[in-house]
Copies of this chain bind each other. A is one copy, B any other.
């Protein structure tokens, strides 16, 4: 017998991604989101949701671009900070000790120190409610050489991404390998 918890966003897990943008004055900014995910394989696309009050909201609409920056566990303070402070008042890159690199593909900066970054051009804007969802087409993914496995793929055990649970507002690391996709379930195929 399950207990009703009401209409909240009691889902898990969610990502911890820092959205990189240039504001109207060209200042690089970051906004941490847990509301987002991959949404399409072709064109390869991702979503991030932002409130209209966020400084990054206007930036994405004006520049038609954003980056998704995947922090390692070691950057948990920067990630949490960038979700609380506003780019109107603070230079979040400077405060967090991060370096903004200008993307050559889209009009947005990415974080030099993070192991995995995704450069997106704005594809669609979806109004939902207090959050607006931005759908970005992935123009390129870039990763530090050190986090690539022998196949040239970003290895989660080296990226060490943060995992968030909105239920208890807590950041987790990645756990142990539980199984391989499109493999472990074959045991149940007839």
Interface of A toward B, CB cutoff 8 Å: 1-15, 17, 34-47, 49, 68, 70, 73, 76-85, 90, 95-96, 116-118, 123-124, 126, 128-131, 133, 135, 138-145, 148-149, 152-156, 159, 161-190
Contact = CB atoms under 8 A, between A and B. Distances in A.
B39 A47 contact: yes
Contacts of A47: 37, 39, 47, 133
B12 A159 contact: yes
Given A15-B14, A164-B181, A189 B85 contact: yes
A172 B177 contact: yes
Nearest to A138: B7
A42 B167 CA distance: 15
A13 B46 CA distance: 12
